[in-house]
Amino acid sequence: MSTDQPTPPEGGGEERELTQEEMVAAEMLRRLMTTPVQDVVFQTMATFTDMAAIRMGLGPRGDEDFDLPQAGLAIESLRALLAVTNAIMGEEAAKPFAEPLAQLQMAFAELVEQAKNAKDEAGDGPEGEGDGKGGGSSAPRPPQGAPGGQGGDLWTPGGAQGGGKLWTPGEG
């Protein structure tokens, strides 16, 4: 009989060593059972904040990671989690993410406007097809001094289909 094999416990059941995958799954389950949900929510909000800024070309690799639709999704996801956090955990818990969200939304709106203007200049049709004499790159540039923003197909006063205008504080 080999000494490498675990001996069966009393009661007839067999004991075996866990595989690497089973150990990883067990550790993940332990973490899910012991980590407070609010910690996961806050970490997720921080991740969405970073992702939005990076996808707007404000990360260490600049325009290499530029992806406006992905930035918009991260911003809208952050906005939704911020609303839930505010409603359930209170304004004080949500406060650290309110200003970054506002900055991301403003920067995003600026990028969307730049993209729209570049598309209008580059082409003569709604598909953006034209003579290519639009004058320079059509890619929007990240705004100076802002870490992010909102606009495009996302929520704007007046509807999500472009029927609204950019909301600014103090305007109705």
Per residue of the chain (172 residues), give pLDDT as tens: 445 555 555 555 578 899 999 999 999 999 999 999 999 999 999 999 999 999 999 999 999 999 999 999 999 999 999 999 999 999 999 999 999 999 999 999 999 999 899 888 887 555 544 444 434 444 555 544 444 433 333 333 333 344 334 433 444 4
What are the C-alpha distances in Å from 123 to residues 126, 128, 138, 142? 8, 4, 10, 22
CA distance 77 to 5: 50
Q: Cα 21 to chain center, whole Å?
A: 29
SS3 (DSSP) at 94: helix
Predicted confidence at residue 4, as pLDDT, reads: 52
Angle between helices 37-53 and 68-89 (to 10 degrees): 150
User: Domain ranges in the chain?
Assistant: 36-122
Tokens 């600026």 found at: 110
